[in-house]
Amino acid sequence: MDFKIKKIILWPKSNIHAKKEIEFDLEKINVIVGDSQTGKSSIIPIIDYCLCSSKCTIPVGPIRKSTAWFGVLAISGDTELLLVRQEPGNQQSTNQMYYEEGKSINIPDLIEQSNRTTEQIVNRLNQICKLPSLDFAKDPNDRKPYEARPSFKDFLAFCFQSQHIIANPYTLFYQADTIDHKLKLRTIFPLALGLIRANTLELQRSINNLYDELKEKRGILTDKNKIRNAWESEIKGNYIKALELGILKNTPFPEETWKLEDYLIYLQQVPQLINDMKFPILSEGIINRVVKYTAKVQQNENEIISSLEEKTYRLSLLRTFKNGSTDYELAMKNQRSRLEPINNGWLHDKLKKADNCPVCGATEITSSEGIKNLINISESVQQKISQINESKNVLDKEITEIETGIRELEKQLNNTRIELDALGRRNEEIERQRNSIEEIFRYVGKIEQNLKNLDEIRIDSQLSKAISDLEDQIASLQKQLLLSNTRLDRDSIMRRIGQTINIYKQILKVEDAENPTEIDEKQLTLKIISSDNREDFLWEIGSGSNWMGYHISTILALQEYFLTLNNHNHTPTFVIFDQPSQAYFPEAIKLDKKGNGEQNSDDLERVKAIFVAFSEFLKRSKKKCQVIVLEHADKEYWNDVEFTHQIGDKRWTREEALIPKEWIS
């Protein structure tokens, strides 16, 4: 992506002061030289903030207190872009921005209000960067945050080397010290290298969409085939059932060699045959009337049973009573037989005519009374026997009547049960007819539904063709994807970048510069192969100067490779290094023009080597990538290096720093 920094612009919060502009050369090594606490290390955060970073990392203090708007004038091809963002105040950031785009932009003296949001600016920069609008998620329904669509901001990791990064053994790229940025950078790395291209993502997304559609259509076909298979598995039974129900007449019994089509020849006739069939017609309401009448007869049966039980119980009581009276009669007859002389013959007559004892002739009162009592008892026994005989006649008559009634009730009960049995058979016949008809219609409904399903499979013959077409489209796109992916070989690319890293390592005088160097995409660090084939990671290599040398070499090598991707390069064409010489020139030490101080001559040569590497980079890249250096070392140590250019021709001091003194006072 052709994208360079032309100017940095600051607008003061006080309108009485004019804006400040810092202009950069697009084809030079732009060097800002300054003391500590002069604002030079704020250049990267300012540019990053104006390029829509999610958080404002511009240091709090005089810069934030005195500046209302921060701006960057960038150039992409023949187009200038003015990106201005408001100072966020107490917030971490603000999405309010001012944006202009054109051939030549007149920078306004005052920014009164925003006209864009950061989201709108990011979208526009993504367009300029020619980034795909697709994300990296294989499953759109389960997209991880780092799998979101690539953004212009993601590629700034290859542009910035801030002070705490440039000699850091554990972090190679800008903001890769946070897990979120590290995961996102790892995701977009193949895209940055050109291994995955915008059209590759589009092809992959198209393939995924086609796969989703293919899965859906295959599911429909599978469901229909399940119906068909289920039909085939039970079709013979259904055909036999049709024969059993009398629906199919004069049709052959199925043979084992029959196939689905053989059964269908006959079964497809079933619906019409049913329409032509004559079923027994039932009178309207007949079932309800039969049910009501049956209930009435059943009630009559219950009443007969109740009467029969009552008479049976009464008959039982009468027979028990009759048996008891017979026993009493026998007892009375025994008494009568003992009193027989008194009741009959001469003794009975004598006793009735005389008052004296018929045996001894005595005339005592007691004897007379005793004789009279015997006579009374005898007469009473005789009377009771007569009464018993009369009651037995009554009992026998009643028993006979009850027995006759029971026989009549039994006859009625038998007749009623015969009628109920007849009614039951009639009801069963009606129910059987009804069930038979219902069974036939249920069967026919099932046949019609199965035939309909089979028809749908036949009618939707385009489904198989659609599936075949989708498979052909996927195969074609996969071939294109394969060609797109094989156009660039990952291993050859990484070897090429590693070889370029070694070129810059040698210029920068890194120890064992000839040892092969590889970028570990997973760990986002470097892996150095020692002379005895041992693999060492960057953090296992000693010395701050070596770490710095590896960082610069890697960024320059990557940018050099990115430029070869032409239209597929999504990384902005500028790099900014903040104090690369810090391993040799601590911030607290300032050398005089002759190099006096605590540094030895080798350190001075190494500082110069840094700028020689930048100069070599501009040559090799044909000045297509801009270099900006924020330095502490004076120009005397790099001024004779080709393509170097000091911004402002003066060293920044606390009196003349990024923020004008009058803005603060």
Name the residue among 458, 463, 453 with its Cα closest to residue 217: 463
Q: How confident is the model at residue 282 (pLDDT cuts 50, 70, 90)?
A: very low
Over range 276-292, report the average pLDDT: 57
Over range 55-80, report the average pLDDT: 94
Burial class (CB in 10 A: 0-12, 13-18, 19+), 537: middle
The two three-digit tokens of residue 620, written as one number: 């090799």
Q: How confident is the model at residue 594 (pLDDT cuts 50, 70, 90)?
A: very low
Report helix, strand or coil for 413: helix
Report helix, strand or coil for 574: strand
Give the residue, 341 or 546, on which the prediction is more confident: 546
Over range 546-559, report the average pLDDT: 96
- The answer, yes or no, to whether residue 276 has pLDDT greater than 60, is yes
Considering 240-244, 300-304, 346-350, 550-554, the range whose residues carry the highest mean pLDDT is: 550-554
38-57 pLDDT, tens digit per residue, is 999 999 999 999 999 999 99
Q: How confident is the model at residue 593 (pLDDT cuts 50, 70, 90)?
A: very low
Phi, psi of 569 (to 5 degrees): -90, 120
- The answer, yes or no, to whether residue 514 has pLDDT greater than 60, is yes
The least confident of 47-56, 289-298, 540-549 is: 289-298
CATH number for the domain formed by residue range(s) 286-464: 1.10.287.1490
Q: How confident is the model at residue 478 (pLDDT cuts 50, 70, 90)?
A: confident
CATH topology of domain 1-129+580-601+629-665: Rossmann fold (3.40.50)
Q: How confident is the model at residue 633 (pLDDT cuts 50, 70, 90)?
A: confident
Over range 538-551, report the average pLDDT: 92
In whole angstroms, give the CA distance from residue 547 to residue 583.
9
The least confident of 53-62, 235-244, 396-405, 503-512 is: 235-244
335-387 pLDDT, tens digit per residue, is 656 656 555 555 555 555 555 565 565 555 555 566 566 666 666 666 666 66
Q: What is the pLDDT of residue 585?
A: 67
The two three-digit tokens of residue 639, written as one number: 């001024």
| Residue the block writes with tokens 């049973």 | 305
Element holding 578 (H helix, E strand): strand 574-578
Query: Assign residue 20 a region: left if phi > 0, alpha if psi is -120 to 50, beta otherwise?
Result: beta
Helices (H), 7-146: 43-50, 62-66, 118-128
- The answer, yes or no, to whether residue 277 has pLDDT greater than 70, is no
Q: How confident is the model at residue 281 (pLDDT cuts 50, 70, 90)?
A: very low
Q: What is the pLDDT of residue 617?
A: 97
Separate counts of helices (H) and strands (E) for the chain? 16, 14
Name the residue among 617, 454, 452, 453 with its Cα closest to residue 27: 617
Name the residue among 568, 470, 481 with its Cα closest to residue 201: 481
Give the chain's mean pLDDT.
81
Give the residue, 98 or 456, on which the prediction is more confident: 98
Q: What is the pLDDT of residue 325?
A: 62
How large is the greatest C-alpha to C-alpha distance in the chain, in angstroms? 196
Residue ranges per domain, the chain? 1-129+580-601+629-665, 140-193+489-571, 286-464
Q: Cβ distance 628 to 8 under 8 Å?
A: no
- The answer, yes or no, to whether residue 156 has pLDDT greater than 80, is yes
The pairing of strands 116-117 and 160-161 is: unpaired
174-219 pLDDT, tens digit per residue, is 989 888 889 989 988 988 998 877 677 777 777 778 888 888 888 8
HEC string of 272-294 equals: HHHHHCCCCCCCCCHHHHHHHHH
Name 304's Cβ contacts closer than 8 Å, sequence gap at least 6.
409, 412, 413, 416
Q: What is the pLDDT of residue 338?
A: 61
Q: What is the pLDDT of residue 349?
A: 59
Q: What is the pLDDT of residue 266?
A: 75
Q: What is the DSSP letter of 155?
A: G
Q: What is the pLDDT of residue 588?
A: 40
Strand order in 160-161's β-sheet?
Answer: 160-161, 574-578, 626-631, 29-33, 644-646
Q: Cβ distance 180 to 55 under 8 Å?
A: no
Sign of the CA dihedral running 161, 163, 167, 168: negative
In whole angstroms, give the CA distance from residue 199 to residue 481.
9
Cross-strand bridge partners of residue 70: 10, 85
Q: How far is CA 568 from CA 85, 158, 180, 476, in A?
A: 29, 15, 25, 23
Report helix, strand or coil for 339: coil
Q: What is the DSSP letter of 269?
A: T
Helices (H), 97-178: 118-128
Percent of the chain with pLDDT over 70: 70
| Position 521, amino acid | E
Q: What is the pLDDT of residue 203?
A: 76
CA dihedral (590, 643, 40, 647) in degrees, to 10, reads 100
Percent of the chain with pLDDT over 90: 38
| Residue the block writes with tokens 């903030």 | 49
Name the residue among 516, 515, 582, 591 with its Cα closest to residue 552: 582
